[in-house]
């Protein structure tokens, strides 16, 4: 492991901007022919003047609705796309000018685009990549044995990938991405289409390798549980702009303004309705309500309720993080203090 101060920045983005020309689709045969000869384009700002930096070892979640600019940013970081404007440094290199050099230091997993050869055992693709990354034979052998043990795939690496389950394939993809000891791992929707148990395993593995190898992880995902479990920092992007850049805890602190409470009682419920409490369901022994914590003192209400009722069951929920994020998506950066 490198002996560097824990605070070293590994990724810097300044004023990054990227726009695309997108063909305006036309209906009908006449329109299609016209559009083929003289297409009309509209300009879309995929990434609009964003800046941030990421330190070594961070686990950053990059979230936003579809078309927000997440994948575009990731692609610019990994050298696949060139920005229109702005500065971009990854591991001290410019992805545009030093694509090949940078490629040795980064690993990528794009959810929908597996890199393992489908009809062959994973071990064959591992060997191939060892040649592509020019890994020394002995070092490679040590490394691959280590990763195989860590990701628990020793039983399956000799079977053709097409015979493996999705979860097994994903673990092999991770090993593949980590063979060359990358400093940064870019994960674009790594858990898409996987079921919940596999997702949990993958999340654990990501955290593990970050802990043990200090790999910086940049992750995009539509699954908020992925982000909640893995990331210590969240960057919310929408319409190409960064709307939020801080930890998830701070989001919750700031934006959770209601709780959903469900109560079952032993006695017929005695309860006075008031402003700030919206009843969703009510029957003789049960009530479900949304409590607006900005208008009502939650503790006081609960105390009051307990004085008059005997509880048999209580559930208190915060609104799902998705709702909060959606709200944030709607906020614009200008004029809003975060």
Partner 1 sequence: MADNILSEIKSNFSMIKQYWIINAKTAIEYKGSFILQTITMFLNDLLWITFWWLFFGRFPLINDWTYNDILLLWAFGSIGFGLSGTFFGNKMNISELIAEGKMDYYLTLPKNVLLHTLISKVNWFACGDILFGVIIGGLIIKPEQLPLALFLMILSTALFTVFGIISGSLAFFIGNSQRISKTVYDCVVGLSIYPTNIYDGFARFILFVIIPAGLVTGVPVELMRNFNIDQLILMITVTIVFVIIAILFFYAGLKKYESGNQIYVNA
Cα–Cα distance, 303 to 318 (Å, whole number): 19
Residues forming beta bridges with residue 235, ordered by sequence position: 62, 245
Based on the shown chain and the rule CB under 8 A, indicate whether residue 134 belongs to the binding site for partner 1. Answer: yes
Candidate ranges 13-21, 27-35, 198-206, 315-323; the one touching partner 1 (CB under 8 A): 13-21
Q: How many residues bind partner 1 (CB under 8 A)?
A: 40
Whether residue 248 contacts residue 230, with contact meaning beta carbons closer than 8 Å, is answered with no
Residues 69, 84 contacting (CB under 8 angstroms): no
DSSP labels for 297-323? -HHHHHHHHHHH--EEEEEEEPPPHHH
State the minimum distance, in angstroms, from the CB of residue 88 to partner 1. 13
Among 10, 11, 13, 18, binds partner 1 (CB under 8 A): 18
Question: In the complex, what is the shortest distance from the CB of residue 8 to partner 1, in angstroms, rounded to a whole number?
Answer: 23
Q: Does residue 113 touch partner 1 according to CB under 8 A?
A: yes
3-state secondary structure of 69: coil
Query: Which of 119, 149, 158, 208: binder of partner 1 (CB under 8 A)?
Result: 119
Minimum CB–partner distance for residue 216 and partner 1 (Å)? 16
Q: Does 203 bind partner 1 (CB under 8 A)?
A: no
Which CB sits closer to partner 1, 108 or 191?
108
CA atoms within 13 Å, Cβ hemisphere of 141: 2
Part in contact with partner 1 (CB under 8 A); list of ranges 55-63, 121-129, 141-149, 297-305: 121-129
41 three-state secondary structure: strand
Question: At how many degrees (to 10) do helices 137-150 and 122-132 cross?
Answer: 140
127 sits near partner 1 (criterion: CB under 8 A): yes
* Shortest reach from residue 121's CB to partner 1, in Å: 9
DSSP state of 120: S
Q: How many residues can be counted in the chain?
A: 338
Shortest Å, Cβ 278 to partner 1: 37
DSSP conformation letters of 182-209: -SEEEEESTTTT--HHHHHHHHHHHHHH
- Dihedral (CA of 131, 137, 143, 144) sign: positive
- 255 near partner 1, judged by CB under 8 A: no
Which listed residue (89, 92, 104, 271) binds partner 1 by CB under 8 A?
104
Q: Which is nearer to partner 1, 106 or 148 (CB)?
A: 106
Task: Find the binding residues for partner 1 in span 154-183 (CB under 8 A).
Answer: 160
What is the Cα–Cα distance from 329 to 30, expressed in whole angstroms? Answer: 38
From the list 178, 217, 186, the residue with the least C-alpha distance to 109 is: 186
**Positions in 277-316 near partner 1 (CB under 8 A):** none
Helix, strand and coil content of the chain, in percent to the nearest 5, comes to 35, 30, 35
Closest CA to 191 of 219, 233, 159: 219
Return phi, psi of residue 165, to 5°: -75, 165
Of the candidate residues 14, 55, 101, 181, the single one contacting partner 1 (CB under 8 A) = 101
| By CB under 8 A, residue 199 contacts partner 1 | no
132 binds partner 1 (CB under 8 A): yes
100 or 274: CB nearest partner 1: 100
Q: Which stretch binds partner 1 (CB under 8 A): 63-71, 253-261, 300-308, 315-323?
A: 63-71
Q: Which residue ranges make up the site for partner 1 (CB under 8 A)?
A: 18, 20-22, 44, 46, 66-67, 69, 71-72, 75, 78-82, 96, 99-101, 103-104, 106, 108, 110, 113, 115, 117, 119-120, 124-125, 127-128, 131-134, 160
């Amino acid at each position: 492991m490198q002996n560097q101060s824990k605070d070293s920045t590994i990724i810097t983005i300044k004023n990054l901007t990227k726009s695309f020309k997108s063909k305006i689709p036309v209906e009908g045969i006449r329109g299609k022919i016209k559009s083929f000869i003289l297409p009309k384009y509209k300009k879309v700002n995929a990434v609009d003047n964003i800046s941030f930096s990421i330190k070594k070892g961070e686990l950053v979640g990059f979230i936003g609705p579809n078309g927000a600019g997440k994948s575009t940013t990731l692609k610019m970081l990994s050298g696949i796309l060139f920005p229109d404007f702005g500065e971009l440094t990854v591991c001290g290199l410019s992805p545009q000018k030093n694509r090949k050099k940078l490629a040795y230091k980064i690993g990528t997993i794009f959810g929908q685009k597996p890199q393992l050869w489908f009809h062959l055992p994973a071990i064959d693709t591992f060997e191939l990549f060892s040649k592509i990354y020019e890994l020394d034979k002995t070092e490679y052998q040590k490394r691959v044995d280590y990763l195989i043990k860590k990701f628990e795939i020793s039983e399956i690496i000799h079977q053709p990938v097409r015979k493996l389950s999705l979860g097994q394939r994903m673990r092999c993809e991770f090993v593949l991405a980590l063979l060359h000891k990358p400093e940064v791992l870019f994960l674009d929707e790594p858990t898409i289409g996987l079921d919940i148990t596999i997702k949990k395993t993958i999340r654990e593995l990501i955290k593990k390798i970050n802990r043990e190898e200090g790999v910086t992880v940049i992750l995009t995902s539509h699954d908020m549980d992925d982000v909640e479990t893995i990331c210590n920092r969240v960057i919310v992007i929408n319409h190409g702009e960064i709307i939020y850049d801080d930890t998830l805890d701070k989001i919750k602190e700031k934006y959770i303004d209601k709780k959903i409470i469900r109560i079952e009682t032993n006695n017929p419920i005695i309860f006075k309705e008031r402003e700030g409490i919206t009843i969703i369901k009510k029957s003789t022994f049960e009530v479900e309500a949304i409590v607006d914590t900005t208008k009502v003192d939650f503790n006081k209400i609960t105390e009051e309720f307990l004085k008059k009722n005997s509880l048999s069951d209580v559930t208190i929920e915060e609104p799902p993080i998705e709702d909060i994020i959606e709200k944030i998506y709607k906020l614009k950066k200008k004029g809003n203090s975060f």
